Structure 1
Amino acid sequence: MQWTSILAIYCLVWVMSAFIMLPLGIRTHDELGEEKTAGQADSAPANFRPGRVAVRATILAALLTSLFVANYIYGWVVVDDLNFVTPVLTVESSGN
């Protein structure tokens, strides 16, 4: 696998990881007991930290991408393993 392919996969996985990490650890003003400003939505986050989200997404993306590349190299799960629609035909010996 070329390094550019690994980089492209990492970028895609990083964006997915960032979206997964966005809601983790977020609290509203009501949950933290802070005062809201006029016109503020009740669900607006009070402690949003994009740097923390980026660090968590980077760690998760690195882990998932390394698992993907290792699977590509060692072939733990191949396309035939993911065929859930048609049954796998096995050849049985007749003993003759």
Structure 2
Amino acid sequence: GADGLSEPEGISLKRVAVVEDFFDIIYSMHVESSTEPGKAPKHAGQKKTYRAIAETYAFLPREAVTRFLMSCTECQKRMHFNSNGLEPK
């Protein structure tokens, strides 16, 4: 606008992820709640989790996602970890 304060068209503002919220943010994007009763929730992989977070939040490092997934017991059961990050078995 004329005041010089409004955002240019087409720019969407992302929410800033603060460190205290990293766990909750990553968990909510990582664990996909199942719509079917009695079915276990799905756990998204590293890339899918990070992509979902990056669409909504700024400044949440990929390293935080990697560390979260490495501490996720469900994912530990079905993944093995190597120096490049996470690889499906």
Query: TM (normalized to structure 2)?
Result: 0.27
Report the structure, 1 or 2, having the larger helix content.
1
TM-score scaled by length of structure 1 = 0.25
Structure with greater proportional strand content: 2
Larger radius of gyration: 1
Which structure has more relative contact order (CA 8 Å, sep 6+)? It is 1
